[in-house]
Amino acid sequence: MTGSFRKKLLAICLGCTLSGAIFPVFAAEEVPVTQPGVDNSGDALLKQGKYLAVAADCAACHTDPQTKQTFAGGYAIHSPMGVIYSTNITPSKQYGIGNYSEQQFEQAVRHGIRGDGSHLYPAMPYTSYAGLTDQDVHALYYYFMHGVQPVDQKNRETSLSFPFSMRQAMWGWNLLFLKNKPFIADSSQSQSWNRGKYLVQNLEHCGECHSPRNLMMAATTGSDALSGADLGSWYAPNLTSDKMSGIGSWQRDQLMAYLKTGHVPGKAQAAGPMAEAVTNSLQHLSDDDIGAIVTYLQSLPPVSHPGQAKPTGDFGSDATLAGDSAVRGTQPLGTALPADLSGKAIYDTTCASCHQTSGTGSADGYYPSLFHNTATGGNTPNNLVSTILFGVQREVNGKEVLMPAFGPGSDVQSLNDQQVASLSNYIFKQFGNPQLSVTAADVKTLREGGPQPFLARYAAAGTVVGGIILLLIIVLIVVRLSRKGR
């Protein structure tokens, strides 16, 4: 696992090993959701389609950072089942979607079925896009066909191990977990609330990262939706209105600023997948749409996490000072640090020059404080450890925010797993939630992509547990089909 920030890190799922089936197609209804005014003239469709493609974050997954060919595919999406390569979605007739009809495009976006009839893996968040309106699908299709330059770049082949290599198996998973119901506005709620729900649940597909997943790796849609979830090496935080575990302690203007910039002094800074979302999508949304997202999120019923002593961004204070360092500057960056160096000494060597010995950061806020920081508060160490291992990179309004990675192989200062653990524990105790701690083994697990989910560990062909899983899935499918029949 590399430090690549991937929004859909855990979205790849497979349900069963049924083969030869054709996924049923359900006709989409016209959806009465309030949206920005769109007419059917070419210029308006082009503009609307481009805006929708940005909001849906299409370029982030379909652009290889090495070739930088927008929408030409080739991006390596790391999943528990293996590496999935995104495909070319430019209008190239040889390698892209240039031969797709609008109906084929709609099937791919809403139902996860490619033009050749094969199934997409849910690294493509079609389970969220299933709720897109007919008008938005039409505008997206028009934009990709008329507003995107064709790139004749060959697709990289995705080759997963058996049984995950069987794309036909997605038929069963889709039958169980794909909800083929377009978004319908709630007439009892405001226009802004409905727009926000549509953006959060469908277009921006926030639940793909922020909702917990079941044993079959489908994102939950019930009462715990958007209540936070492990995302490989990272943790996507609780977005419900709970004042301790969620965003209930945030002010409206703070939430809007965070979505637009990824930075709220004394509160949080976006890293990992969220930094990517801000860079490629959220900062480009209109203020009305950002406001609508906040309106909807603030209305979510609170979901609390046990053991949360105070709001995630409220740990520490400017009175929490580390004192003068006796070792600062004695270990030049880039040199091998002594194996027995304490967490404080590692901090003074690698962190204090930017975040200060006191942890207050820089006066202009470019280097954030380490107290009143959601990465050091909360009830999980994942985001602080992953920030140290993989660094931070986001770009807002043409300005780059960069923190180098300090994990093994760093160009600045390479820290081994034990050193990262010692540094993290010092930061938690000095500036954040003192109840948090990690071991070198914990750091190793996060460096390698996080704990393997149940399905990835046990669904391999030939295992007893894998056979039980398959039998259970078949039973669930039979029950689901019988209910549909009734």
Burial of 122 (0-12, 13-18, 19+ CB in 10 A): buried
pLDDT tens readout for residues 259-287:
999 999 989 999 999 999 999 999 999 99
What percent of the chain is predicted at pLDDT more than 70? Answer: 78
Task: Residue 383: name the closest of 310, 314, 440, 312 by CA.
Answer: 312
State the pLDDT at residue 84: 82
State the pLDDT at residue 163: 63
State the pLDDT at residue 80: 64
Mean pLDDT of 321-334: 52
Question: Please, are residues 241 and 247 in contact by the beta-carbon 8 Å criterion?
Answer: yes
> Is the model's pLDDT at 445 over the cut of 90?
yes
State the pLDDT at residue 463: 56
> Is the model's pLDDT at 343 over the cut of 90?
yes
What percent of the chain is predicted at pLDDT more than 90? Answer: 57
> Is the model's pLDDT at 477 over the cut of 80?
no
pTM of the model: 0.84
State the pLDDT at residue 292: 98
pLDDT tens readout for residues 101-144:
999 999 999 999 999 988 887 888 999 999 999 999 999 999 99
Question: Please, are residues 266 and 257 in contact by the beta-carbon 8 Å criterion?
Answer: no
* Least confident span in 149-153, 170-174, 232-236, 443-447: 170-174
pLDDT tens readout for residues 147-159:
999 999 998 887 7
Question: Please, are residues 60 and 204 in contact by the beta-carbon 8 Å criterion?
Answer: no
Task: Residue 236: name the closest of 199, 270, 285, 198 by CA.
Answer: 270
d(CA 376, CA 370): 7
State the pLDDT at residue 135: 95
Mean pLDDT of 430-459: 87
> Is the model's pLDDT at 476 over the cut of 70?
no
d(CA 343, CA 370): 15
Question: Please, are residues 78 and 6 in contact by the beta-carbon 8 Å criterion?
Answer: yes
Paired strand residues for 73: 63
> Is the model's pLDDT at 7 over the cut of 90?
no
> Is the model's pLDDT at 19 over the cut of 50?
no
d(CA 16, CA 101): 30
State the pLDDT at residue 318: 61
State the pLDDT at residue 465: 55
User: Is residue 79 very low, low, confident or very high in pLDDT (cuts 50, 70, 90)?
Assistant: confident
Position with higher pLDDT, 199 vs 66: 199
* Least confident span in 219-223, 318-322, 365-369: 318-322
Q: CA angle 289-291-297, nearest 5°? A: 105
d(CA 405, CA 414): 8
